[in-house]
Structure 1
Amino acid sequence: MSTTAAFIEAHSLWNHQQRSAAQEVLEVVAKNGIRGIRVSVSDPQGKLRSKTVMPTFFQKVLRSGIEFTNAQYSFDSAEAMAHNTFVEGSKFGMPEMDGFANVVLVPDPLTFRQLPWCPGTGWILGDLYFRDGRPVPFDARHQLKSALADLERENFTFMAGLEIEFYVAKVVDSKLMPEDMGWFGVPPTPPIVESASRGFSYQVEDNLDRMDDFVCTLVGHCEALQLPLRTVENEMGPGQLEFTFDVLPGLQAADSMSLFRSMVKQVAYRKGLHATFMALPGLPNYVPSGWHLHQSLRTSDGRNAFATDTGANDVLSETGRHFVGGILEHAAAASVFTTPTVNGYRRRKANSLAPDRATWGHNSRAAMIRVLGCPGEASAHIENRVGEPGANAHLYITSQVLSGLDGIRRGLDPGTPETSPYSATHRPLLPSNLMEALEALNKATFFRRQLGEAFVDWLVGMKQSEVNRFLASEPDWQRSPDKVTSWEHREYFTRY
């Protein structure tokens, strides 16, 4: 069954800029001989799901969208059925979601790119809508757009700088035999790998040079994709890299993260490598990877709302301090958004360069919120160090926007910055595992009010399915709480 003609126009789903960009996209497709366009959407785990359409049909997609199943919202991280929509009383609470029904995927022309590693292929990211033009409320991109619109009503624009760590390894055995394929709720057997370079030599140039061919390829692709890459460095672990990107508006930053992770994994595969954004692979002598999110607000006249005037004593303005207060207040419940996997909590340990408490401090890598800059400096901003690399980019940023905005509206005071964050016992501990984080979110009236009861119930149920499979496979995990279990490695190493 086809979608209604001119669905996008009928429901006013694009602004003037998007309508203009759509025509430019069609011209690029024709001029450059593009043979197929991947029309993609970011799923609850932050992975891209897509259909490849031919150029002629793509013209219709840019008028009416494309039919797309809502099944992804029933699956947990390993495609297990977390919400069975084939029976009455599903967690969605709306008939439009029953039976893996079709919804409409509407592409955003502003996201269109040509994929440099896949000649003749275009890519475009979109949003899911019901047939009557309503946004599908479980689509994380919709949630982020709603949060950003709320922030803009206060005359602020959210700006984000991405700092992402990940691992690259050489594939020794791909494990592609039929018996390695897994099943619904059972991920495929992870590949056997060896390290791409030596580890425990932070920022050593020799190790980065050993991965130069791969790194230079990624750098070139970032440029072709208009991803504003700033720096590349060798991190602490074997084959561990860090890429940082210049500031972008919130939605563009989330979209860029989704595309970057997909690009890295696809390019690695083509080179006989395996890239993973799993926080801590279950491999000997590996250390955790993080995703540090740099944040600031821009005023309607283009100024940094976090910066103080020249001659001030504080790095952050009153607005900046209130924003920090909101993030600290909601940090526990936001953990499901910033750290959504069982494995991600392996980072949360004292004296580990990752936060274990809701703290903040000036230029301290021990704090959850690290304040960067000097008094009167125009680029003053904050860095949240709590996130894991596999987090859904749209939900991670949504949680920060909503929390920080609440802090501004309520005038929340973050207190005195910590000089020794790991010793700040007056600050609340962050959830130490996904089970605790789910309990915090389930009880969080703030996020229920902001995101909707149905959304929170759905997300908690989906992540609980993941937790239930973990506990069934690893009932004794607490006997060795610092050890990455075999379940975690299989669950996340390949898929994230």
Structure 2
Amino acid sequence: MKKPAPFIERFGLWSAEQARQARALKTLIAKHKLKLIRLVWSDTHGHARTKEVTIPAFLSALSGGYNINVATTTLDASGARTFASFTPGGGMGLEEMTGSPNLTIVPDPSTFRVLPWAPGIGWVICDEYFNTGIPFHFSPRQLLKKQLARLKQQKFGLTVGLEVEWYLLRLAGDPILPENTNAIGMKGKPVRTFPVETGYSYHSESNFDIMQPVLTALCEHFEAIDLPLRSIENEWGPGQVECTFAPKAALTTADNLILFRSATRQITRRMGYLATFMARPAFPGFCASGWHLHQSLSDVSGKKNLFTPDGKGEPLSPVGMHYLAGLLANAQSTTPFTTPTINGYRRYKANSLAPDRATWAYDHRGVMARVLGAPFDPATRIENRIGEPSANPYLYIAAQIVSGLDGIANKREPGPQELNPYNSDFPLLPKTLPDALSALESSSLFREQFGETFIDYFLAFKRTEIGRFEKWKSEHGVAGHPADEATEWEQNEYFDFF
């Protein structure tokens, strides 16, 4: 009986270019004397998960893939099981999810990196598949690739630039204590930290210089792993930093964001600091961090920006205006993907440099969709200011494509610019994660494009998180959703996870 072809070849999972890149990795591994490779995939939160394998195991994975447990999809941030995995259907009504089965992850050789801060370690992003070769239902990267395929069918490409805020804090130097360890369903207290600078001296060079040794180390490592960093600046809060990255193709940008967040946390931790991408840390005086997504459609070659207007008049081309209108029309139902944590909704306040409703204007930092560019300017783009820095990049970007293509397909119009956005009649963004999930639940567009299976899963997954928050509030006599300060639960849940 003829032996079946290896997994990747059998199901045709690589392009010819990926196969060529894979063949070159053996030489690269020898050149850098690598000992172990981190096989990385994104969970639903956008948190980097990994299995570290030996070089022989990795070389085998370049033909046959590598088995992992499906569990990281069924556990929330506290490690609590959100579905009855050991019952028929895995608690999801899906036969293939019964019993917490294995998946096969397939490395994408185009994402391979050598980690300069971890000697002898390589790193590569993987795609998840069932052992039948079918893409995994709940893989965020697979969902984005599906939406990018829709774009390609319509002769579009998507270019995305990143602008991400985060906090740098100094570790207190204490050991990890019992109070810092987690229990299933309950996160421990985060390790103690101190601010690195006093804050609220916007773009202060002297305050920035206090952080320079850490930021210089980050820059050196980012250059070594080919992250296209453009700038670093000191934002408002104490130790609040903003990093911007050059625009790249959408999938590359999403992969880079996963690497950027994980690398930043690893490098700073080794230096005695903590980096957090939690939107609103529970410290007095800390302001919220955001993640602004710059995006433009191109032709398939990526050489022509299709948002650029040809002459005076509208700030975007007709296709750009329709895409913009799609972002506005679907803003409420996209917020679970742009702002997936309970904590992130603390950003949506009037006069906060974050939007609180679905508005747009040219070069205006108070609206949700800020349009930038000019006639014949190849950098013309939409900056969506809706996101929080802990969002899953694959889901965030995929949601933008779904919304934008809806605007194009239905020739939606965005309406007039809003120059007084915090006092306008435009629709408000959801005030809480439960409100956002309700908007998503009723969206026929996202049920069609992300699939009923994924939407029902995602709703159940996030509502488990909300349920733990509501239980904590009840136990601690906290009423409603405190509007100003983040709660202790949020600090425990998100501060050292993102």
TM range (shorter): over 0.9
- Aligned residue for 2:467? 468
Q: Which residue of 2 aligns with 1:275?
A: 275
Aligned letter for 1:169? L
Aligned-residue Cα RMSD (Å) equals 1.4
The corresponding residue for 1:365 is 365
Residue identity matched to 2:471: A
Go from structure 1 to structure 2 and tell me whether the alpha carbon gap of 1:36 and 1:126 turns closer, same or farther (over 3 Å shift): same
Trace 1:50-449 onto structure 2 (pairs within 5 A): 50-88=50-88, 90-174=90-174, 176-300=176-300, 302-309=303-310, 311-425=311-425, 427-449=426-448
CA shift for structure 1 position 418: 0.9
Q: Give the 3 Å change call, closer, same or farther, for CA 218–133 of structure 1 in structure 2.
A: same
Cα distance in 1 for residues equivalent to 2:182 and 2:52: 25
1:358 offset after TM fit, Å?
0.6
Identity of aligned residues (%): 42
CA deviation after TM superposition for structure 1 residue 99, in Å: 1.6
Q: Check the 8 A contact 2:89/2:96 in 1, yes or no.
A: no
Map Cα deviations across residues 312-342 of structure 1 (whole Å, 9 max, x no partner). Answer: 2222000100001111111101100000000
CA distance in 1, matches of 2:179, 2:370: 47
Q: Does 1:27 align with 2:20?
A: no
Q: CA deviation at 1:356?
A: 0.6
The farther-off stretch of 4-13 and 129-138 is: 4-13
Q: Is the 8 A contact 1:8 1:65 kept in 2?
A: yes
Structure 2 residue identity aligned to 1:269: R
8 Å Cα contact 1:477-1:485 kept in structure 2: no
Gaps of 5+ in 2: none
- Measured after TM superposition, the shift of residue 176 of structure 1 is 1.2
List per-residue Cα deviations over 1:161-191 (Å, max 9, x = no partner). Answer: 0000000101115451234312111123201
1:456 aligns with 2:448: no
2:353 aligned counterpart, secondary structure? coil
Separation of aligned partners in 2, 1:165 and 1:25:
34
Structure 2: distance between partners of 1:357 and 1:29: 50
The equivalent of 1:39 in structure 2 is 39
The one-letter amino acid paired with 1:247 is P
Q: Are residues 175 and 414 of structure 1, via their aligned partners in 2, closer, same or farther at CA, if it must alter by over 3 Å? A: farther
Instruction: Identify the range of structure 1 (36-45 vs 182-191) with the bigger mean alpha-carbon deviation.
Output: 182-191
Instruction: Name the CA shift for 1:258/1:377 in 2 (closer, same or farther; >3 Å).
Output: same
What is the CA-CA distance between 1:101 and the residue it aligns to? 0.8
Q: Deviations over 1:455-474 (max 9, x none)?
A: 00000000000000001112
Instruction: Tell me how far apart the structure 2 counterparts of residues 453 and 447 of structure 1 sit (CA, whole Å).
Output: 8
Q: 1:266 to 1:201 in 2, by over 3 A?
A: same
Secondary structure of the corresponding residue to residue 465 of structure 1? helix
1:20-52 residue CA offsets vs partner (Å, 9 max, x unmatched): 000111210022210110011011111111111
Q: Secondary structure at the match of 2:33?
A: coil
Cα distance, 1:477 vs structure 2: 4.2
Deviations 1:264-315 (A, max 9, x none): 0001110111110000000111000000000001113521000011x32222
Moved over 4 A (4+): none
In the TM superposition, residue 424 of structure 1 has moved relative to its aligned partner by 1.4
Bigger drift between 171-180 and 407-416 goes to 171-180
Q: CA deviation at 1:87?
A: 2.2
Aligned length in residues: 492
Deviations 1:76-117 (A, max 9, x none): 222211112112354533222122211101110000000011
Structure 2: distance between partners of 1:173 and 1:28: 37
- Secondary structure (helix, strand or coil) at the match of 1:246 reads strand
What is the DSSP-based 3-state SS (H/G/I as helix, E as strand, rest coil) of the residue aligned with 1:274?
Answer: strand
Contact 1:169 1:195 in 2 (8 A): yes
Q: Deviation string for 1:103-147 (max 9, x for gaps)? A: 101110000000011011100001110111000010000000000
Go from structure 1 to structure 2 and tell me whether the alpha carbon gap of 1:40 and 1:479 turns closer, same or farther (over 3 Å shift).
Answer: closer
